[in-house]
Amino acid sequence: MSFPHERLAANPHDRTAERREDEAWLAGRWADPDTRVLVVSGTRIRPRDGQIDWVSPGDAPEGLRVLLGEHDDRAWFAVVVDAEVSKAAAQGEWTPLRGLLPRLADDAVAAAPLVFHALGLAEWLFATRFCPRCAEPLRPRRSGHELVCANGHSQFPRTDPAVIMVVTAGTPGADDERCLLGRQAVWPEGRYSTLAGFCEPGETLEDAVRREVREEVGVRVGEVEYFGNQPWPLPASLMVGFVGRAETTEVTVDQDEIEDARWFTRAEMRELAEAGTLVLPGGVSISRSLVEHWYGGTLPGHW
């Protein structure tokens, strides 16, 4: 079966990294009316008629030009303008990435990886203003993919690996097999999702799965199997999905990150989801894909 999160990684663009300092090529592609540009204010964009609004270079405002690459025989750029533009605009006019995810999955104009690339870089540029080694101001080069200070120290975009996992217990595929989901206190009633957390220095991804599950819900995990991954520039993560097999099943939530966690059989999950008392993650998230992978099919309802 195909999984919801795969739609957000489909049809990727050629990032043409070798062209990021080719000023003649960049000027030529910017002059091409077929080139498309995404305007980003801080880390927000402004949709048009419910779709991602890619404009021609002639309609793009002044700002930092970021080369995204080539896709469908076109060049694609982002123009990053001051964050104050979206703050000063009408409420709701500029939208953060989280609010765009449902639209991205079915966007017929351009692949979601282009938007993830643009907003991931915009977030990094917005947050990275001064050199961490000497505190000098940083200026962009290589079409927005590198920052350098007056002392020649370079900074590059970072991606933080995070693990996200569905934890199972019982005989695989049996009627009484269960999966473990948790919820945070700030979520509306009925929302549950897979557990997740960041990988720490010197730690394998598999050990990060075991540590996070034990810390958050007190369950020991043994076997850990890789499932897939999803870029998640909120602000700069790569979500790496796993299926973990529980060695213990007693749940003791930490009451810090997790308010409640519980085991679900497939029958319970279907019944509660149909009743609307269990609300599962959004349809384009790897969390949803992990749950439906375990369940063996699609489920009703989502955030």
185: left (phi over 0), alpha (psi -120 to 50) or beta: alpha
CA distances (Å), origin 23, targets 67, 69, 145: 11, 14, 15
Q: Is residue 91 part of a domain?
A: yes
| 303 within some domain | no
Mean pLDDT for each 10-residue chunk of the chain (303 residues)? 68 93 98 96 83 92 96 95 68 74 61 89 93 97 97 95 97 94 94 96 97 97 96 88 98 92 97 94 88 93 74
CATH code for position 100: 3.90.79
Q: What are phi and psi of 273, to 5 degrees?
A: -65, -40
CB 170 within 8 A of CB 247: no
Does any domain span residue 302?
Answer: no
User: In the beta sheet, which residues pair with residue 244?
Assistant: 167, 224
280, 171: one domain: yes
- Domain end marker among 127, 145, 168: 127
pLDDT of residue 107: 57
One domain, residues 213 and 240:
yes
Q: How many domains does the chain have?
A: 3
What's residue 102's pLDDT? 66
- Do residues 240 and 277 share a domain? yes
Residues 166 and 286 in one domain: yes
Tokens for 184, please give them. 């945070």
Same domain, residue pair 219 and 137: no
Q: Which amino acid is at 133?
A: R
Which residue range is the domain that position 261 belongs to? 160-295
Q: Are 245 and 223 in contact (CB under 8 A)?
A: yes
Question: Does one domain contain both 186 and 148?
Answer: no
Give yes or no: residues 174 and 118 share one domain.
no
Same domain, 269 and 194: yes
Write down the pTM of the prediction: 0.88
Mark whether 117 and 165 lie in a shared domain: no
Domain with residue 211: its CATH number is 3.90.79.10
So what's the pLDDT on residue 100? 76
